[in-house]
């Protein structure tokens, strides 16, 4: 939600929301679920590609789902301003205290 808002507010930056992959082989996945579906490198590779490869520079404000291997729509709530606005307000309050 925040990424989509940030992309709108800062069009000079390329901002991509990303799911690097579900249940990657990480300590967190092992401790929480006792299993993994994909190697952690899968998540690293897509994050690197999205950050570095110029082919993604025109994808600002989009969502990349590495489980599907493509740009897709995020959950509908991520685009719902009634649900997004309180998050932005609370985030700004927290940042003002720093």
Q: Which residue in the block uniquely carries the two structure tokens 């309180």?
A: 86
What is the domain range of residue 28?
2-96
Q: Which portions of the chain are predicted below pLDDT 50? A: none
Q: Round the average pLDDT of the chain to a whole number and report it.
A: 88
Q: What strands lie across the sheet with 62-65, from one edge to the other?
A: 16-19, 62-65, 70-72
- Global pTM value: 0.77
Question: What's the number of domains the chain is made of?
Answer: 1
pLDDT of residue 77: 94
Q: What is the pLDDT of residue 86?
A: 95
- The pLDDT of residue 59 is 94
């Amino acid at each position: 939600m925040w990424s989509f808002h940030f992309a709108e507010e800062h069009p000079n930056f390329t901002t991509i929301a990303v799911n690097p992959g579900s249940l990657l082989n990480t300590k967190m996945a092992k401790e929480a679920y006792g299993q993994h579906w994909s190697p952690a490198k899968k998540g690293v590779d897509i994050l690197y590609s999205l950050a570095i490869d110029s082919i993604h520079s025109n994808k600002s404000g989009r969502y990349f789902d590495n489980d599907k291997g493509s740009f897709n729509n995020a959950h509908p709530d991520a685009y719902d301003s009634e649900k997004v606005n309180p998050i932005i307000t609370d985030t700004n309050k927290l940042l003002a205290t720093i």
